[in-house]
Every structure is written in C-alpha cells, then in structure tokens.
Amino acid sequence: MKLLTPGSELDGFTIGECIHSGGMAHIYHVTYAQGRHNPGFPMAMKVPRMASGDGAENIISFEVECQIQQVLAGSHVPRFVAAGDLERMPYLVMEYLAGRTLQHWLDAPQPLDVNVITRLGVAMARAAHALHLQNTVHLDLKPQNVLFRPTPGATEPAPAAQPLGAFGAAVLLDFGLSHHAHYPDLLAEQLRKAVGSPAWIAPEQVVGVRGDPRSDVFAIGVMLYQLCTGELPFGEPQTAAGMRQRLWIDPVPPRKRRADLPAWLQEVVLRCLEPEAAKRYPSAALLAFDLSHPTQVHVSERGTNTQATPFLTHVKRWIKAAGMHYQPSPVPSQQIEEVPIVMVAVPYRDATDATLYSLRQAVARSLGTRPGARLACVTVIPSSLSNTTSEERSETQLHRRYLTQLHQWAQPLDHPGRQSSCHVLESGDVAQALLDYAVGNQVSVIVMGAATHGLKTQRFIATVPIKVAMDAPCTVILVKQTLPFAQLAGAAEDDTDPRGGALVDPRGPGAALYGDDLGPLG
C-alpha cells in the first residue's frame, strides 16, 4: 500500500498528515471532505499495509479490528466512524484521541509513585472490564495499546507536558487480535497457536485459548509489574518455547527489585500474573476494586515474599504445565457474571434488628450461588456528624466507630475464601454517595433495605432506595424484612413495616397497626 497524499480525497474523507507509519499500518489525520459536518471530534484513518509479500495474518487482523471496532461502545474505546471495503480499499476511520499511551509512564526517568501506579492500574482495569461486558476480550493489551485521556477539562499544557499524576480514563486501542464471542473468530485455527505480543501474552493464549477475559487481567498484571519495577516479568521471548515458560515460572517478586513497594501491591500484581487463569482475579472489576482499596487487600505470602521461587517448585510446575492444552472459553459476559461485586448499603442508624437481619439474609442469598463473588459493605454517614473541634466526634473516631459496627454486622457473612470489605462514606446525599460508589467500583448488584434510610419521609419525597433503584447502573435488590422482631416483642417501633406486622399481630388482622402510618409502599 503506497502512502496517501495529504490533501487527496478518499470515500468522502480528506487525507491529512500521516501521524504514524508502522509495520502494520499507516495512520492519517482526516476530515470529512466538503459538504459534510465533522462529527465533533477529530478523526484518524488507519490504512493497513497490504503490499504483496505482506502476511495474510495482517489482513485478517485488520478485518477483525474493523468488525469489532464497529460494535464497541463507551468511553473506553475510540468511536467508530467508517470502514472501507476490504476488497477495494481497506481502511478504518475512527475517533482520534489526544493523550499519552502507557509507554509515557514507563519512559519516566525515576521510579513511579505507588499512588500513580495504582491509579493507572485502576484506569486500565476499568477499561478492560467495560470491554468484557461487551463480550469482547482484547488479547493484545500492552503499553502502546493503552492510551490515557488528558485530565477532564485540562486543555493546557499539552498532554505530553502534563505531570505524571495527571491523566483521565484509559482508552484501549487496536483490536486486531481481539475476540468477540458473538462473531466467528477469524484468527482461530485448528492447530492452536499463540497469537499475541510475546512480553504481555497470557499463558493460556500461548496454548491457543482465545476469549478468556482473565487473559487481559494477566496483561494488565505485566504492565503493572513494569510500572513497579521497570522490568518485564517474563522478558521478551522470541520463541514459542520461550513464551511457554510463563506456564510454570514465577516472576521475580517486584519487592525484590524495588524494596519500597508495599506488600499489598505485590500481592495484587502477582495475583494477576498467576499462570492458571482460575487463580487470577476472576474479573477486571475485582482487580480495580483491590487497587482502589489497598487497606482491604488480603496480603498473603505472595505479597510479602521477596525471594525467588525455588528451582524444585518450578520443576514441579513444569511437569504440570506440560499437560496444559487448549480449552474453549466461556462467553466473557457470562463468565464475569459469575464473579459479581455485591454491594450492600447498611443504614448507620434507625434500622431495626429485623431489617438488619433480613438485609444479611438477602446478601447471603445473593452470594450463595457464586463462590467467586466479592462483598462490599457500605455505610453512609452525613458529613455534619463529624466535628473538627470535638475529639470524640472527630472524623477518624466516627469512621472507626461505624466501621466496627459494620464489621459486626457483616461477620456472619464471613466465609473462608470470600473477599469482603467494609467502607464508611461521608456525604450529605446518601443516595448519590451509594450510586457514586457503585459506578466507581463496577458493582454488579446493590442490596439495600426497601424501607431504610429515612422511612418516615417515604410518602413525601423520593426516598433513598427509590432514587438508588432509578439511577443505579446495575441490578438493585430491595429487601423487605421477613420477620418483624419488634412486633413479636410486642412493642411497635416506628421503623417496622406495618403490613408485615399485621400478619403476626396477636390482636388479629387489621388491628391498630393499620393506622395512619400505612404508606403507599406498605
């Protein structure tokens, strides 16, 4: 494919300057030719190199990219504009994004701040999760393919001059090796072989597995390892046998290479790099969760260890890995549905024992069928509660108090192997705080009481549960109390559910409790 001349026209696009001239493709700035309004964002055209002698895989990979790019949506991928006919004039026009790729951070002269590494990791994991939810696995995540948007609103200075800590959401590029579960996999073949970039490829990809979202978790792990240590965990093997080594070899613990790294971060990175996909984070959302809640990470020997793995262990694993072979992957969206993040909103006050009990039962049910699920218990306290002058009501004291309360509530839900954590948020707007938390952590299910968080005002204003249910990005389970303990005890409490209470009221159905407290929702 010869270079396109700036100023020439192609299928209604005016070719601009050539931005990139790589081994696989040329990329040009383009605008719509006269007569069409530009879409409101800059555009770039990718034209694959397809001169005679070019490998067929390059063409197929471009076809895959066109196919997948067209159906992806959301802020973590460039927007699709147009694709040229593959037989006549192959090209792909998409949104041009200003920003820096991860390579920019890897090129930094000094070791990166842990906080910056963590935030880069969270951004990458969120972007990957957004992709997995669309039944697509990237399979070629590497520093050149992850771009970070400039911080929102920042126009000056130019992206390259921004400080290392200033960046926005991650955008994933180049879907040439990706896999979409709803389309035939054009890159698959009977003789399964490795498709990917040697430094970042996951062990299962080495044996030809395409379509497991945990392969992307592995690649993010490799990039986190690079950010932490400046080194590649498995080097850059040139042969298939070299790539197979990651099926049994542990990388050198990052803390051996950089002593000031916290153990929790090593724990997270090495969990991403587990040779067996089943031992990694089951979803990118769970990786993002751990990276954003360092104090909640359960640190095992994997995190604290600073010694290289003994030779004998590697030999044993090598024997095990020899049996590793291709297995088809389940559909990504189904696979990550099996490992949801379940969030429960526990009121910090005014909740009856019955409500708290029912809430816990509902959470136990939601978690029950999914051993890989993660639980996040959240309490929102009003900001006015804390008081900077009084020692007893200082922010930390209050947080500690409510955190303890939350831990006590959650304790019966503890289960070996289950990951759970407790969080006290401070906000004047309870519903918004819960929603923000759910969005920020890719929560899959929110469990909350139907009549908690301000029952008395229910008839007059949109209550917290209603607002959360209406605006939540995910499923919301509203729990009604099953056993009104307060009723059994005889004394009517303000917060009890009147209709539920009437069923067991010793005075018979329809007694006094049906008074003027009966709200529209019961």
- The binding site for other proteins (CB under 8 A) comprises 56-57, 60, 63, 67, 70, 86-87, 181-191
Q: Give the C-alpha separation, 174 to 46, whole Å.
A: 10
Distances (CA, A) of 481 to 314, 346, 353, 426, 496: 53, 14, 10, 26, 9
Q: Shortest Cβ distance from residue 184 to other proteins (Å)? A: 4
Taking a C-beta distance cutoff of 8 angstroms, is the pair 150, 162 a contact?
A: yes
- C-alpha span between 114 and 268 (Å, rounded): 13
The identity of residue 240, as a single letter, is A
Q: What is the spatial distance between Cα 26 and Cα 20, in angstroms, rounded to a whole number?
A: 6
Min CB(282)–other proteins separation in Å: 23
Alpha carbons 121 and 218: distance in angstroms, whole number: 12
- Identify the DSSP state of 393: T
CA distance 193 to 494: 66
Residue with tokens 């759910």, as numbered in its chain: 438
Q: Is the separation of the CB atoms in 452 and 363 below 8 Å? A: no
- For other proteins, the closer of residues 332 and 500 by Cβ is 332
Nearer CB in complex with other proteins: 60/461: 60
Residue environment code for 495-518, b if the CB has 16+ CB neighbours within 10 A, otherwise e: bbbbebbbeebeeeeeeebeeeee
Least Å from the CB of residue 97 to other proteins:
25
Beta strand pairing call for 25-32 and 146-148? unpaired
**Closer residue to other proteins in complex, CB, 212/250:** 212
DSSP per-residue letters across 12-32: TEEEEEEEEE-SSEEEEEEEE
Beta bridge partners of 381: 426
Between 51 and 191, name the residue whose CB sits nearer to other proteins: 191
At closest approach, how far in Å is the CB of 56 from other proteins?
8
The CA distance from 267 to 218, in Å, is: 14
The nearest distance, CB 211 to other proteins, in angstroms, is 12
> φ and ψ at 80, to 5 degrees?
-85, 140
Both structure tokens of 481: 């109390």
Determine the length of the chain.
522
Question: How far from chain centre, in Å, is Cα 425?
Answer: 21
Of the pair 48, 372, the CB lying nearest other proteins is at 48
In the complex, the smallest distance separating the C-beta of residue 58 from other proteins, rounded to whole angstroms, is 11
Residue nearer to other proteins on the CB measure, 188 or 252? 188
Looking at beta carbons only, is 57 or 95 nearer to other proteins?
Answer: 57
| Contact in structure between 345 and 448 (CB atoms under 8 Å) | yes
Query: Minimum distance from CB of 203 to other proteins (Å)?
Result: 21
Nearer to other proteins, 70 or 394 (CB): 70
Please say which residue, 63 or 276, places its beta carbon nearer to other proteins: 63
Q: Shortest Cβ distance from residue 195 to other proteins (Å)?
A: 8
Task: Give the nearer residue to other proteins in terms of CB position, either 1 or 188.
Answer: 188
**Residue (191 or 259) nearer to other proteins, CB:** 191
Angstrom distances, CA of residue 79 to CA of 122, 384, 425: 22, 43, 35
CB of 177 to other proteins, least distance (A): 11
Residue of 394, 373, 356, 332 whose CA lies nearest to 483: 356
Closer to other proteins by CB, 55 or 235: give it. Answer: 55
CB of 45 to other proteins, least distance (A): 19
d(CA 151, CA 20): 24
Distance CA 422, CA 413 (A): 12
In the complex, what is the shortest distance from the CB of residue 105 to other proteins, in angstroms, rounded to a whole number? Answer: 34
Q: How far is the CB of 187 from other proteins (least distance, A)?
A: 5
What interhelical angle do 114-132 and 213-229 show, nearest 10?
170
